[in-house]
Amino acid sequence: MLELLTGTGLAASAGLNAYIPLLVMGVLARYTSVIDLPGGWQWLGNGWVLAILTALLVVEFVADKVPVVDHVNDVVQTVVRPTAGGLAFGAGSAAETVTVSDPDSFFAGGGQWLPVLAGVVIALGIHLLKSAARPVINAATAGVGAPVASTAEDATSVVMSLVAIILPVLVLVFLVALVLFLPWFLRRRAERRRERRAAREAGFRV
């Protein structure tokens, strides 16, 4: 169960920022004993891989905080974030951590691809929610909210990655918060659509 929560938390983190959970796992595996990546995933701790992830993170960090550019970035990240989520889930769910000393093979029947697929689906869901929320935030704040929302997402991604590795049971808190947030967001988005439709109809009448 803890392995599943670790993988879920890391994949959800990748849905917010593709590079943070991979970088967190790589840094912790290379420089600490907090996480011990399995053989097939030890490349995440390679110095060159960490350097590339850091460079990509810097680009993502800047691009996601500029209105309009953030939308283009989200389109590109539709492929990148789910891919990173699959990698994060696969590596995290099979790794030994300070909480999980003997990972169970609960995906043994589905081979190595099942955890990756699960991570892809989770990260894609979070990415789509993030991508849908950003235009609403930008419109409501005239673009001012973009850097604030992006910074909050990055911070959440960092915290979620660390929590997933160190204390995965707290991932349940994030999942509960997401369940509570989703209905409110859907209602708000529907209200925005009704407001825009009413504004267009009023313009036609004039």
pLDDT tens for each residue of 22-81? 999 999 999 998 999 888 889 999 999 999 999 999 999 998 888 778 888 888 899 999
User: In sequence order, what are the residues at sequence separation of 6 or more whose Cβ sits closer than 8 angstroms to the Cβ of residue 21?
Assistant: 10, 11, 13, 14, 84, 88, 92, 157, 160, 161, 164
- How is residue 83 written in tokens? 């891919």
CA separation (Å) from 180 to 16, 142, 154, 174?
18, 26, 20, 10
Could you report the per-residue pLDDT of 126-135, keeping only the tens digit for each?
998 888 877 7
Q: What is the mean pLDDT of residues 170-177?
A: 82
Question: Does residue 194 form part of some domain?
Answer: no
Structural domain includes residue 182: no
Mean pLDDT calculated for residue range 180-196: 68
Distances (CA, A) of 147 to 15, 47, 127, 133: 17, 30, 17, 13
Domain annotation covers residue 85? yes
* Model-wide pTM > 0.75: yes
- Residue type (1 letter), 54: T
Kindly tell me the sign of the dihedral angle through the C-alpha atoms of 80, 146, 193, 181: positive
Domains held by the chain: number? 1
pLDDT at residue 106 in the model: 54
Residue 99 DSSP label: S
Q: Do 137 and 146 meet the contact criterion of CB atoms below 8 Å apart?
A: yes
Q: Domain range spanning residue 117?
A: 2-170
22 within a domain of the structure (yes/no): yes
Is 186 contained in some domain?
Answer: no
Q: Would 80 be classed as within a structural domain?
A: yes
